[in-house]
Chain A
Amino acid sequence: MTTSSIGREVKVAGARIAGVMSCVPSLQIENDYFIDKFGEVAVNDAIKMIGVQKRRWVNESTTTRDLCSHAAKRLLKELEWLPDTIDALIFVSQTPDYRLPASACVMQSELGLPNACIAFDINLGCSGYPHALWLGMTMIQSGAAKRVLLAVGDTSSRLFDKDDRSTAMLFGDAGTVTALEVDSSSVAHFIMGTDGQGMCNLIVPEGAFKNYSSTTDKRLNYKNPVFLFMDGAEIFNFTLQSVPPHIARTIEFAEKNTNDYDAFLFHQANLFMIKHLIKKTKLPNEKVPINIEEFGNTSSASIPLLMTTRLKEQLKNNTLQLAMFGFGVGYSWASASIKVGNLKVVEAIEL
């Protein structure tokens, strides 16, 4: 364990990814949907920047847990893992079923996992996936668990105002489940950090137990506080400032070179931002898979969704050296340098 200006640096040994399953809602929303609301010019301008051509949205009765449970059942079946062999389940989301109990508890029973199963929720968004990998693998390294499920995703369409131009076109919904197991030869490197001063730039101001008020923050004037508020310029600034050094330090901490990596998986925040990051850090375009055009910004699900849509064949047949970067809401950021491959299951399904 070391600390740099980027964050806490941790090496975890003894665990690997055994399979990944994503589940997206079947309802596809194309950009035409927004023209009546915002006008053609505004829609085209926004799309040119964010790069989203279509996205999936859940209906009113479907939650992140529904997507994740569907993915988990299929994943367990195809891995041929019996539910009673699962030692821990971590649910990472900002759109749980209830304020309490934890959605992980609901899932434990729904999936038929044993009572001797550790299950809890984590409230993180864009940075959630590398955090979940770190925690799940640490549980295996410590001996607390041999098999862990990471249910990671969001149904952001239930959080934003469909009439708010700054968020409505950007986000899509997805749930994913990643299976972790013991593997004595595996090593992964993680760097994680936080800057809560950015809390007010991506926030749902009301609906929990504290109201973040528009009297202290003029940007919230005329915005409905029960919906997601995003200050795109501030988030963009934060990303440009923090991600390039995070990339450099992750590669260095793992004692690798850029050339050693088969792919760099970025949280799919916004196409313009990802392209700018690639240019600034001089990463080879062909090593940075993108799926924001098809699914939008899917919050914590975006990295596993990239694996199951853009790297599916490679991850089935080969082992890839991957670097993953999640950054955003919090502010919170996390990276992983990890080998993933020869996966028995790596697939995206619909609900």
Chain B
Amino acid sequence: MNEFYEGMAEVLEVDIDQISPAFELQNIDWNSLAIVSTIALVDECFDVLLNGRLLDACKTISDIENLIAAKKD
């Protein structure tokens, strides 16, 4: 998960220590640019393509991880 968390910290422009499953996306600007960057990051880390609309509805990092897990199955 480290590569993913490092990437998320970069995408969200926050410190890596702040990234945890509980991280609240509404505290930052969870906009379309961040969503597109996240799609690319997840594709790179897990070879999984997430849907933009589902990502848009995510409230926390944990929600994103659930989407990834669901896609992997």
Contact = CB atoms under 8 A, between A and B. Distances in A.
Interface of A: 45-46, 49, 166, 231-234, 236-237, 240-241, 272, 276, 279-280
B36 A233 contact: yes
A240 to B, nearest CB: 6
A332 B55 CA distance: 25
Given A45-B33, A46-B33, A233-B39, A240 B56 contact: no
A231 B52 contact: yes
B43 interface: yes
Given A231-B52, A279-B44, A236 B33 contact: no
Nearest to B41: A276
B52 A233 contact: yes
B51 interface: yes
Nearest to A230: B32
B35 interface: yes
Interface of B is mostly: helix
Contact of A237 (B33, B37, B52): B52
A179 B39 CA distance: 40
Interface string B21-57: 0000000000011011101100110000111110110
Given A234-B52, A237-B49, A240-B49, A272 B32 contact: no
A236 B44 CA distance: 14
B33 to A, nearest CB: 5
Given A231-B52, A279-B44, A237 B39 contact: yes
A232 B49 contact: no
Contact of A233 (B43, B44, B56): B56
B39 A49 contact: no
Given A46-B33, A237-B51, A276-B40, 5 more contacts: A233-B32, A233-B56, A236-B40, A237-B39, A240-B49
Given A231-B52, A234-B52, A240 B32 contact: no
Given A237-B49, A241-B49, A232 B43 contact: no
Contacts of B53: 233-234
A232 B44 contact: no
B36 to A, nearest CB: 5
16 contacts: A49-B33, A166-B32, A231-B52, A232-B32, A233-B35, A233-B52, A233-B56, A236-B36, A236-B40, A237-B51, A240-B43, A240-B49, A272-B40, A276-B43, A276-B44, A279-B44
Contacts of B51: 237
Contacts of B56: 233
Interface residues of B, number: 16
Contacts of A279: 44
A177 to B, nearest CB: 34
Given A240-B43, A279-B44, A280-B43, A49 B37 contact: yes
B54 to A, nearest CB: 10
Nearest 8 pairs between A and B by C-beta?
Answer: A233-B52, A276-B40, A236-B36, A233-B35, A49-B33, A233-B36, A234-B52, A232-B32
A166 B35 CA distance: 13
A272 B36 contact: yes
Interface string B1-35: 00000000000000000000000000000001101
A240 B33 contact: no
Nearest to B50: A237
A232 to B, nearest CB: 6
B49 A233 contact: no
A117 B55 CA distance: 51
Nearest to A241: B49
A69 B52 CA distance: 40
Contacts of B35: 233
Contacts of A231: 52
Contacts of A240: 39-40, 43, 49
B28 to A, nearest CB: 12
Given A241-B49, A279-B44, A280-B43, A233 B55 contact: yes
